[in-house]
Amino acid sequence: MRELAEDLAGAGRYAVASVVGLRGSAPRGLGSALAVTEAGAVFGSVSGGCVEGAVYELAQRVLATGRPVRERFGYSEQDAFAVGLTCGGEVEVFVQPGSAEIEAALAEPPGRPVLLARVVGGPAALLGKGITVLGDRVVGDLLDPADLAQAPTGTLWLDGLEVFVQRWDPPARMIVFGAVDYAAALTRIGKFLGYRVTVCDARPVFATAQRFPEADEVVVDWPHRYLAATDTDERTVVCVLTHDEKFDVPVLVDALRRPLAYVGALGSRRTHERRLERLRAAGLSGAEIGRLRAPIGLDLGAATPEETAVSIAAEVVALRRGGSGAALSITQGPIHRDLVTTSG
């Protein structure tokens, strides 16, 4: 929803439709949102196009009546013309007028943690009401923030009320070591995917903001020294693009011992074999070395820095979402896995 903030600024009255329930295959995740303004403008999406027309009509009704509504859309084999998801899944959408709680969530600067909780099931007078938690500040008083502190995005029951909780965390980090042309392309696609991107290189002539304008920060330091002093978590992506042993081996020793989402290293297969020998000599276990994605990326036949960046990003997404990396045309099973929208 917070991606709608710029579009809704100064738009006047609006209604917001949010995905609050999913079953089976669905194109958009929990928390995906679509907004309709009083003037009829539409922003966002709740289904990738399958049910947008019906949701638009619901939003217009909500704008006219001021009363929230909840609707379920699924696939109907009996009625080919029924509104629903052609992918066979089921989605529940909650539509409500804009509120002080939603306004507070939209107004918070990107990158700051936000928790928005709204009643989506219960007495009609309480539907759409809730709280927004912004650090140590709370907007609204219907719910107790302590009851929501550990709640993930999704629905839960509190005192007989069905509450939809949505939290936006600060963006995950992507740390790119090596200020090379591949890094410039990877920085752009990393930002596109919503990461906070840092480029680090020990060579000041290459590690400049002018060469990497899309990066959130450009650091001149030895990679292993920078990583030792920086914070990471289980969402952090580390890409080592130096393919120079004096730079990449020390930083990989540290990275592979951390609980990171992804660790990859650029280089030929021959370079990787030498790298493995040095990592073993540095004392890394087989399990730790087994976490290394090298040569980095999926086999797309990439030839340019931009294509290589796509192959790296594809591997990062596949690992994060549990994908195989294979062509969908030769796989079976659901295309859309369980999705949660948490971008801030």
186 within 8 A of 241, measured Cβ to Cβ: yes
**pTM value > 0.75:** yes
Cα separation, 154 vs 22, whole angstroms: 10
Q: What is the mean pLDDT of the chain?
A: 90
Task: Say what percent of the chain tops pLDDT 90.
Answer: 72
pLDDT digits (tens, 9 = 90+) for 169-201: 889 999 999 999 999 999 999 999 999 999 999
Assigned token pair, 261:
């989402």
Residue 27 pLDDT = 65
| Model confidence pLDDT, tens digit, residues 239-287 | 999 878 888 999 999 999 999 999 999 988 998 899 999 999 999 999 9
For residues 296 and 316, is the Cβ–Cβ distance under 8 A? no
Secondary structure of the chain: what % helix, strand, coil (to 5)?
30, 25, 45
The angle at the Cα of 337, spanning 331 to 340, to the nearest 5 degrees, equals 160
pLDDT at 9 over 50: yes
CA angle (186, 188, 192) in 5-degree steps: 110
Taking CA atoms, 19 is separated from 30, 45, 79, 207, 336, in Å, by 5, 9, 23, 42, 15
Closest CA to 261 of 212, 214, 322, 199: 322
**pLDDT score at 2:** 83
- Top-confidence residue, 339 or 334: 334
CB 116 within 8 A of CB 101: yes
Question: How many C-beta atoms surround the C-beta of residue 77 within 10 A?
Answer: 7
Residues of the chain above pLDDT 70, percent: 91
If phi over 0 gives left and psi between -120 and 50 gives alpha, with beta otherwise, what is residue 187? alpha
